[in-house]
Amino acid sequence: MKRTVNITIEIDDFDMVGFESQLRQWLKVIDFTILPDSKDLYNTDPIYKKMWKKLKEDKKAIYNYIKDNT
C-alpha cells in the first residue's frame, strides 16, 4: 500500500536545488515549495492570523471527511 505524506521542515539556507534533486532521486516528490518566512506577519497582522486559523480548520474538516468516507 502506498501512502502520501506531507512534511514541513525548517532547514538552514543552502543549495535548495540540490536538496530537491536529492529528494527526487530517493522519493516520488509530488510538491516541493519553499515557504517564505511569515512569522513576523503572523505575529503582527490579525487578518493574516485569522486566515491561517481558517485554513487550519478547513484542512481538519477535509481530513475528517476523507477519514469518514473512505
AA identity, residue 52: W
Where are any strands of DSSP class E within the chain? Answer: none
**3 domain residue, yes or no:** no
Least confident of 5-9, 24-28, 64-68: 5-9
Q: What is the pLDDT of residues 23-60, one digit of tens each?
A: 999 999 999 999 999 999 999 999 999 999 999 999 99
Residues 34, 16 contacting (CB under 8 angstroms):
yes
**55 domain residue, yes or no:** yes
Provide the domain limits for residue 63.
16-69
Instruction: Count the domains in the chain.
Output: 1
**27 domain residue, yes or no:** yes
What DSSP string describes 43-54?
A: HH-HHHHHHHHH
Which of 41, 21, 38, 39 is CA-nearest to residue 29?
Answer: 21
Question: What distance in Å separates the CA atoms of residue 30 and residue 57, rounded to the nearest whole number?
Answer: 23
